Amino acid sequence: MSEPQLLMRRAELDDLPGMVLPDGYTVHRCERVFAESEGAGIAQVLGEAFPGMAWSGQKVTDTFIGDAGCIATFYLRHGETIVATATARRDPAFSGVGYVHWVGVSEAHRGNRLGYHVSLAVLHEFAQEGLTGAVLTTDDHRLAAIQTYRRLGFVPEFAHPSHEERWRRVSP
């Protein structure tokens, strides 16, 4: 039996920093319909961020638009190219808070803190929706992502007996 992903929580959303993107990048929000190029671009980013998972424009549409819990999907563009994405959703397991989901950055644009910026856009969405906090789950080996989430104010939460030891292993 595999262990559940690590859980992180940001208790409040009233102290979020403003959105200041690096030069050349723009943030976009999609709620219920993806243009074909949006779905394909997001699929490309997710394929790079989650190797071994097959993503297509149709899978993006089915996964995000077809999810009743999905509030909105955000993506960053550099010129005309989609280079980062994250989804804002509600999960019934986490009442009153938002769930940051499917955060990914293209390989060519890593190191520019784009995961931070696209996740921050999601947190601002949650605040506008009146949610009180945010949660996310991540894998033990995603150390750069964990560091990003900590910079955003997320802290580890021990939701499973294995979490305390696993957090000890991945924490600096």
What CATH number has the domain bearing residue 73?
3.40.630.30
- Residue 151 within any structural domain of the chain: no
Q: Answer yes or no: is 145 within a domain.
A: no
Residue 31 belongs to a domain:
yes
In a domain, 36, yes or no: yes
User: Taking Cα atoms as reference points, which of 69, 78, 101, 97 lies closest to residue 28?
Assistant: 78
Q: Count the domains in the chain.
A: 1
DSSP 108: G
Kindly state whether residue 129 falls inside one of the protein's structural domains.
Answer: yes
Tokens found for residue 132: 């009180």
- According to the model, what pLDDT value does residue 162 have? 86
Summarize pLDDT for 64-80 with one digit per residue, the tens. 888 889 999 999 999 99
User: Strand 134-138 to strand 98-105: parallel, antiparallel, or no bridges (unpaired)?
Assistant: parallel
Other beta carbons less than 10 A from residue 114's beta carbon: 27
Residue 141 lies in a domain: no
pLDDT band at 34 (very low <50, low <70, confident <90, very high): confident
In a domain, residue 169? The reply is no
Mean of pLDDT values over 42-50: 96
Is pLDDT above 80 for 158?
A: yes
- The whole domain housing 87 covers 18-134
Position 128 scores a pLDDT of: 97
Q: Is 24 among the domain residues?
A: yes
Number of residues assigned to the chain: 172
Query: 58 pLDDT exceeds 60?
Result: yes
pLDDT score recorded for residue 47:
97
